[in-house]
């Protein structure tokens, strides 16, 4: 079918979703060319449920060992690229993501030049009370930490996995760096910033039913900050050192040196004064305070440069009139993809 001549592959990563996945598949619009279901070693008959669906667009892939949502998406991405899909979307198998909005995602890519489009559940304040409190708190905290790690300060709700990416952008990413677990969405944001991808968001109403999340809250609290910390420095190196020696990197390094020296020296003279009872000299205090102030100011300037480099994020409501079909501004580069195949 395709959308304005651009083929669409919808990836559904599934784990223990035999009671939900058939309904999700049934809701995939007719303009989607392929439905790639990746059964991540489910033991509840998820694959058997998919096989019962008589839809010629379905391609069932199975993992012998559970890899996580990121691993399932990596498998789906590889198949979508091989098929020649121009646009690749992710829809979860739990029924929380309404596939009817996929055309809005596609139009943001085709008509507004977005490389990656994601849903945002926080656009409608009236829907926020319906969100489980633990999930709401976790989303807010992770959003702030992901802003720092990814450099996309204008993007919110990074854990929302309802996304679409263009083929051109996907081919520029190092798929081997995508996290195989629930850090998948966050790792995608970090990799997208490295290649300076343009991100768009669509405000969509959230839907929460009786489904159970397989996410382990304590595991996430323990692992995500460490992964975000590593991802931040990986992004800084790849974006500002390896690919281009940017002024940001110089300011970042000198800022860290200044803050480090000021903090260590200041702590030492304070400790020495506390133990001996002899006040530190003015020169010793200045030697700690001046590098600390200059270093902190330099780091703040580096952060400003990083924020400005990311550029603006396009925000649309799901019923925005501007998402209706119009002549594309910059058609998606399909890198040899074959269009019009249904």
* pLDDT tens digits for range 98-110: 999 999 999 999 9
Range with lowest mean pLDDT among 56-65, 287-296, 305-314: 305-314
CB 20 within 8 A of CB 49: no
The answer to whether residue 211 scores a pLDDT higher than 60 is: no
Pairing relationship of beta strands 87-90 and 163-166 according to DSSP bridges: antiparallel
Name the H helices within the chain.
21-26, 46-51, 69-83, 102-111, 133-150, 167-172, 184-194, 217-237, 247-276, 282-310
Q: Give the span between the Cα atoms of 285 and 278, in whole angstroms.
A: 13
Can you name the CATH fold of 8-241+311-323? Spore Coat Polysaccharide Biosynthesis Protein SpsA; Chain A (3.90.550)
The pTM assigned to this predicted structure is 0.83
Q: List Cβ neighbours of 165 (8 Å cut-off, separation of 6 or more).
A: 87, 88, 89, 115, 116, 117
CA distance 329 to 107: 11
pLDDT averaged over every residue in the chain: 87
Residues 6+ apart with CB under 8 A from 239: 151, 193, 194, 196, 246
The dihedral sign for the CA sequence 14, 19, 23, 26: positive
Counting residues of the chain whose pLDDT is more than 70, the rounded percentage is: 85
Residue 6 CA to residue 116 CA, distance in Å, equals 15
- The answer on pLDDT for 172 being more than 80 is yes
> Tell me: the pLDDT tens digits for 41-80?
999 999 999 999 999 999 999 999 999 999 999 999 999 9
Of the candidate ranges 9-18, 295-304, 317-326, the one whose mean pLDDT is the lowest: 317-326
pLDDT at 135 over 80: no
């Amino acid at each position: 079918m395709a959308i304005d001549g651009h083929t669409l592959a919808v990836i559904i990563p599934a784990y223990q979703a035999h009671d939900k996945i058939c309904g999700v598949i049934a809701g995939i619009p007719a303009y989607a060319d392929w439905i790639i279901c990746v059964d991540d070693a489910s033991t509840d008959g998820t694959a058997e449920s998919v096989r019962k669906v008589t839809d010629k667009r379905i391609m069932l892939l199975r993992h012998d060992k559970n890899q996580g949502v990121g691993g399932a998406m990596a498998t789906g991405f590889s198949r979508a690229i091989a098929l020649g899909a121009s646009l690749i979307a992710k829809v979860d198998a739990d029924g929380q993501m309404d596939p009817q909005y996929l055309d809005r995602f596609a139009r943001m890519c085709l008509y507004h030049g977005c490389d990656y489009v994601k849903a945002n559940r926080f656009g409608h304040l009236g829907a926020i009370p319906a969100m489980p409190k633990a999930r709401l708190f976790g989303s807010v905290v992770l959003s702030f930490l992901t802003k720092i790690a990814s450099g996309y300060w204008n993007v919110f709700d990074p854990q929302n996995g309802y996304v679409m990416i263009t083929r051109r952008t996907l081919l520029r990413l190092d798929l081997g760096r995508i996290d195989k677990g629930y850090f998948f969405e966050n790792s995608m944001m970090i990799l997208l910033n490295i290649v300076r991808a343009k991100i768009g968001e669509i405000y969509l109403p959230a839907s929460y039913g009786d489904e159970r999340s397989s996410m382990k809250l304590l595991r996430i609290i323990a692992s995500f900050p460490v992964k975000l910390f590593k991802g931040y420095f990986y992004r800084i190196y790849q974006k500002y050192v390896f690919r281009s020696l940017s002024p940001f990197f110089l300011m970042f390094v000198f800022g860290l040196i200044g803050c480090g020296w000021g903090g260590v020296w200041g702590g030492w003279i304070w400790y020495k004064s506390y133990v001996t009872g002899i006040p530190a000299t003015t020169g010793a205090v200045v030697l700690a305070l001046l590098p600390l102030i200059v270093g902190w100011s330099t780091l703040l300037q580096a952060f400003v440069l990083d924020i400005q480099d990311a550029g603006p994020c396009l925000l649309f409501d799901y019923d925005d009139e501007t998402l209706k079909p119009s002549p594309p501004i910059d058609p998606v580069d399909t890198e040899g993809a074959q269009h019009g195949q249904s």
